[in-house]
Amino acid sequence: MLRTFTAVILTLLCCTVPAVAADKQAMTEKQLKQLSARIGKLQKGMRQQEGESRSLSQTLRNSEVKIGKLARQIQSLDKQLSGLGSHADNLEEKRDQLKAELKKRADIIEKQIAQQYQMGNQARLQLLLTQRDPENLDRTIRYYDFVNDALKKDMAQFRAKLNELSGTERELSETEKKMVVKRDELKLEVASLQRTQTERKFTLAQLKKTLSSDEKKLKQLQLDQKRLRAVLEEIEKSLNFATLVKDNKSFRQLKGKLPWPLKGRIKQNFGTVRNNIRYDGIWIQAKEAAPVKAIHHGRVVFSDWLRGYGLVLIVDHGSGYMSLYGYNQSLLLETGDWVAAGDVIATAGSSGGKEQNGLYFAVRYKGKPSNPKGWLRR
């Protein structure tokens, strides 16, 4: 299947290079939408032509696409909860600071009021009447005015801080209510994800049962190859007169220096042969939902589910270079989106009927497979 995948991508990449040379204008959004629609129509037609495993394959596809969407929703809810939690922590800190400040101001005001009470209006009047020196009298009057003004100012600030505290506590209460709602939403999404994963396991078991013999497995493999070839030929037709990425020599110049799409142990190397199929990429073991990153800037030319490869994302880097990311749990970008090196484009998984989580990663140049390890940092 992977050897055929290489042959099919060859046609796509060979078309990209002359297109780059002939026309360096970016593909329009309209063309990209038409491409996605044509691929969807093509896949639907092919599903109708498949044999015994058609229903199970469709069920597997539905489960894995649903898992991808749920994983994205859960990731979004996690971020929202994290943001609300940080906001709540800040509000609690602000509330505690306001309470401490209010206590200090209350103590100051209490002392000022006590002093005013001890002096009393009669004492103040007597003090003013007994003053013989005009200068002393003026200073005394100004002192009392100063004390009164200070008390009024402190009282006004106290009321303002009290109102601020009240507003902070209301906001904190509302934030905590939102967190409760988001946690409930998250629980529902996680439960739905777990149910869908269980359905997927059941479908995989049934699919394996239908492919118990080598002959049936070979037939299934040929169907996968036929589907992939047809899909990528459709992409080739659409890219024949359009250039997605400007001529980009920097990709070639960065050979051996490009970042890895994710961290993990390589479980299958480029060029290894298994079931009479030569592996034309690398399979990197990873934790479920580990972030998958683009190795270089470019534009997404494919973002969909393909049988045998699961949720797949293909990025055109220009100058005949292309990178492919398969077996993903979820895809975070759509066809036509631009990416920069290091952008998170997907999350690792086991789609395509795989039993272990990881990433299928491949690099092509003018249709020919190139060892990905030679392009990545050592």
Please spell the DSSP secondary structure of 234-295, one letter per residue.
HHHHHHTT-BSS---THHHHTTTTBPPSS---EEE-TT-EETTEE--SEEEE--TTPEEE-S
Give the least confident one: 223-232, 238-247, 330-339, 340-349.
Answer: 238-247
Tokens of 12: 């796509």
Among 62-76, 88-102, 240-254, 301-315, top mean pLDDT goes to 301-315
**Which amino acid, one-letter code, is at 371?**
N
pLDDT of residue 95: 81
Please give the residue that has the higher pLDDT: either 311 or 213: 311
353 is a domain residue: yes
Give the pLDDT of residue 258.
95
Single out the residue of 254, 281, 253, 249 nearest to residue 267, CA to CA.
Answer: 281
pLDDT at 138: 54
Instruction: Lowest mean pLDDT of 197-201, 254-258, 354-358, name the range.
Output: 197-201
pLDDT in tens, 331-349: 999 988 999 999 999 999 9
- Residue at 91 is within a domain: yes
Q: What is the pTM assigned to this prediction?
A: 0.59
Does 149 fall in a domain? yes
Name the percent of the chain lying above pLDDT 90.
20
| Residue 333 belongs to a domain | yes
Dist. CA 353–CA 307, nearest whole Å: 8
Q: In terms of pLDDT, which residue wins out, 341 or 18?
A: 341
CB of 363 closer than 8 Å to CB of 326: no
Q: Domain ends where: 178, 194, 210? A: 194
Mean per-residue pLDDT of the chain: 74
Question: Both 252 and 321 in a single domain?
Answer: yes
Residue 80 confidence class, pLDDT cut points 50, 70, 90 = confident
* DSSP at 200: H
Contacts 24+ apart (CB under 8 A), 266-270: 266/373, 267/356, 267/358, 269/373, 270/369, 270/371, 270/372, 270/373
Question: Is the pLDDT score of 106 beyond 80?
Answer: no
Mean pLDDT value across residues 18-35: 50
**Which one is predicted more confidently, 26 or 354?**
354
CATH assignment of the domain containing 353: 2.70.70.10
Q: Is 296 left (phi over 0), alpha (psi -120 to 50) or beta?
A: beta
pLDDT at 295: 96
* Residue 43 sits in the same domain as residue 91: no
Which of 194, 227, 259 is the endpoint of a domain?
A: 194
Tell me the DSSP string of 292-356.
EE-SS-EEEEEEEEETTTEEEEEEEEETTEEEEEEEEEEE---TT-EE-TT-EEEEEB-TTT-SS
Give Cα 58 distance to the centre of its chain. Answer: 27
Instruction: Give the range among 134-143, 146-155, 298-307 with minimum mean pLDDT.
Output: 134-143
Give the pLDDT band (50/70/90) at residue 25: very low
The per-residue b/e assignment along 316-339, b for 16 or more CB within 10 angstroms, e otherwise, is bbbbbbbbbbbbbbbbbbebbbeb
User: Is 290 found in the same domain as 335?
Assistant: yes
26 and 111 part of one domain: no
Distances 335 to 190, 196, 245, 258, 298 between C-alpha atoms, Å: 27, 25, 13, 23, 12
Residue 351 lies in a domain: yes
45 plus 107 within the same structural domain: no
Query: Is 137 inside a domain boundary?
Result: yes
Note whether 96 and 42 are same-domain residues. no
Higher-confidence residue of 216 and 23: namely 216
pLDDT at 1 over 70: no
Same domain for 33 and 85: no
3-state secondary structure of 358: strand
What burial letters (b/e) apply to 106-130, b meaning 16+ CB within 10 Å? eeebeebeeeeeeeeeeeeeeeeee
Domain limits for position 253: 2-51+244-374
Given a cut of 50, whether residue 376 has pLDDT beyond it is yes
Residue 359 has pLDDT above 90, yes or no: yes
- Apex 190 CA angle, 186 and 193, nearest 5: 140
The domain total for the chain is: 2
SS3 25: coil
Choice among 71-75, 225-229, 303-307 with the minimum mean pLDDT:
225-229
Instruction: Please report whether residue 102 resides in a domain.
Output: yes
Q: What are phi and psi of 313, to 5 degrees?
A: -130, 130
The answer on 186 and 90 residing in a single domain is yes
Q: Give SS3 for 378.
A: coil
CA neighbor of 290 nearest in space, from 314, 325, 317: 325
Q: Residues 10, 96: one domain?
A: no
CA distance 334 to 228: 19
Residues 311 and 252 occupy one common structural domain: yes
| 186 and 107 belong to one structural domain | yes
Does some domain include residue 72? no
**Do 132 and 35 sit in the same domain of this protein?**
no
